[in-house]
């Protein structure tokens, strides 16, 4: 019965996501009708079309795992990752496609396994927790390392230009990769810190697409920012005082 309720919650969240995106697409269509120069809806672009169901499923995924007991959202996360990986292949972003197919999907499968067992490695109740200080330092170091690595790779393999050119785009692109990697990884272990990385991901996406002038993606990542912030607040509230660790000086 409990599992049935979890799947029902996922179904409800799919309906909510469809309604929200239907309203969003309707508003964008209206804006495009009033200001045709915006060119917001690109139905002739296969990558853009694939991105629509990926985004709908992605929001249902986030809304579902907002409940730290509901592992069914990760099934939606796997479908989302397949669609996003396909989208990046169509756009020529093979590094991001690699990340979705060979990193995110295995992470999400591991999350299903860990969350559905509802036990942590010590056998205690598997509750949301912040990272302890050593893991926090390691996580921040990984964020910097992955961002720098993606920056260098983008300079050499994608843009074919000096490392110190096009700095803002490379920095924000690197943050997108590193923050989404860490967000997915820490979700496996129900670490509340994962939502901090989803927040960074959303803000970096907004900044990147402002620079690139992609209005639709700016709206989309603003939408993600709101959804991810709501989920993060829900997890913070669900984190017991003894599990706050480094965050105890900020959260009461």
Where exactly are the structural domains of the chain? 1-123, 127-252
Looking at residue 251, its pLDDT comes to 73
Q: What are phi and psi of 41, to 5 degrees?
A: -105, 115
User: Could you report the per-residue pLDDT of 27-60, keeping only the tens digit for each?
Assistant: 888 988 888 877 778 888 898 899 899 989 999 9
Instruction: Flag whether pLDDT at 203 surpasses 90.
Output: yes
- Give the rounded distance of the alpha carbon of 22 from its chain centre: 20
CA distance 192 to 239: 8
Percent of the chain with pLDDT over 90: 49
Identify the band that residue 163 occupies on the pLDDT scale cut at 50, 70 and 90.
Answer: confident
User: Cβ(31)–Cβ(39) under 8 Å?
Assistant: no
Average pLDDT, the chain: 87
Give the pLDDT of residue 116. 84
Q: State yes or no: pLDDT of 133 exceeds 80.
A: yes
More reliable by pLDDT, 206 or 163 = 206
Q: What pLDDT was estimated at residue 37?
A: 79
């Amino acid at each position: 019965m409990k599992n049935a309720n979890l799947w029902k919650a996922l179904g409800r969240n799919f309906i909510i996501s469809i309604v929200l995106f239907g309203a969003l697409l309707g508003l964008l269509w209206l804006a495009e009708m009033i200001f045709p120069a915006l060119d917001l809806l690109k139905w002739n672009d296969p990558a853009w079309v694939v991105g629509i169901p990926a985004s709908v499923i992605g929001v249902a995924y986030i809304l579902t795992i907002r409940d730290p007991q509901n592992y069914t959202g990760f099934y939606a996360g796997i479908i989302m990752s397949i669609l996003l990986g396909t989208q990046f292949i169509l756009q020529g972003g093979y590094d991001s496609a690699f990340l979705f197919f060979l990193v995110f999907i295995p992470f999400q499968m591991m999350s299903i396994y860990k969350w559905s067992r509802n036990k942590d490695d010590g056998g205690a109740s598997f509750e949301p927790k912040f990272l302890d200080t050593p893991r926090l330092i390691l996580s921040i170091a990984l964020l910097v390392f992955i961002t720098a690595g993606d920056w260098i790779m983008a300079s050499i393999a994608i843009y074919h230009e000096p490392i110190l050119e096009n700095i803002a785009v490379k920095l924000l692109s690197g943050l997108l990769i590193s923050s989404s990697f860490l967000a997915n990884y820490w979700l496996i272990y129900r670490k509340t810190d994962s939502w901090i990385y989803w927040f960074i991901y959303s803000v970096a996406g907004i900044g990147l697409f402002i620079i690139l002038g992609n209005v639709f993606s700016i709206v989309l990542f603003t939408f993600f920012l709101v959804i991810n912030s709501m989920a993060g607040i829900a997890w913070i509230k669900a984190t017991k005082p003894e599990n706050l660790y480094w965050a105890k000086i900020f959260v009461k």
